[in-house]
Amino acid sequence: MLKRTHILSFVSALLFAPMLSAATDMSSSPALNSAQKLFFYTDHLKGVAKGSRLDYGFKSVTKDADSITDNIELKVTDVVAEGKRDLEFNFLSGPNHIDFSPAKAYTGNPLIIHFLERDISRMAKDTGGSNGFFRNRIRDAFKSPSEVRDIKIQFNGQALEGTEVVVTPFVANPYAANFKLYVNKRYEFIFSDQVPGGIYRIHTQVPDENGKSVLIDEDMTFRQITPAI
């Protein structure tokens, strides 16, 4: 079992500090594009009541390796103020479980961070590189996303409004020779305020050198909300 009780505070300092701030004041924030606002400055859990649980499906497919199909849960243990919630997590199970600390007075949906922290740890392990390097590249990629577009998503038989943000953090990086496997890695985020928790899907793909097949394919997709009893 992996222990990650230190991750939330560590990542908040290095990558996602704006989203974790105790008070998000858009009027005093620097000029941001729509992708940065969606990611860093959105109250994704708006309207989600105390005692509610959000359930997500997780799938990881790696070429020539066993696939992983699992679950991720987020529980709202308290609503402490407007836009701030206390949260607990059950992130994957068995040998894949990561023990993320509860979040206090949190604004946003921290499962975005948790998904990426697992992703970053895997890349650092595979390449012998620095977690901080990959964190910074992903953060900076939102300054110039590859694509931002309005889309329709199908959920429970309904067509809902969403926004897809695509980033390719490692393309044309001067240090690409050190992590060739991940140079063309693609991240797709689908946000929707019509889905509880604000994010419908996070999807990553690692193509082979020729772009003809996929070596690693992972996603986290919203399934359902269980309301407070």
Quick one: pLDDT at residue 29? 54
Bridge-based pairing of strands 158-167 and 186-191 is: antiparallel
Quick one: pLDDT at residue 65? 85
- Of 189, 187, 16, nearest to 108 by C-alpha is 16
Query: What are the distances in angstroms from CA 227 to CA 54, 55, 105, 111, 217?
Result: 9, 11, 20, 18, 31
Quick one: pLDDT at residue 134? 96
Backbone angles phi, psi at 25, to 5 degrees: -115, 100
Q: What is the pLDDT of residues 164-177, one digit of tens each?
A: 999 999 998 898 88
Quick one: pLDDT at residue 212? 81
Quick one: pLDDT at residue 155? 94
Q: Average pLDDT per run of 10 along the chain, which is 229 residues long?
A: 40 44 44 92 94 98 92 97 94 96 95 97 94 96 96 94 97 89 96 96 93 92 91
Quick one: pLDDT at residue 30? 61
- Whole-number Å distance between alpha carbons of 106 and 151: 28
Determine the straight-line distance between the first and last CA of the chain, rounded to whole angstroms: 31
Residue 201 in tokens: 């899907």
Return the C-alpha torsion angle 205, 111, 139, 120, nearest 10: -60
Quick one: pLDDT at residue 19? 43
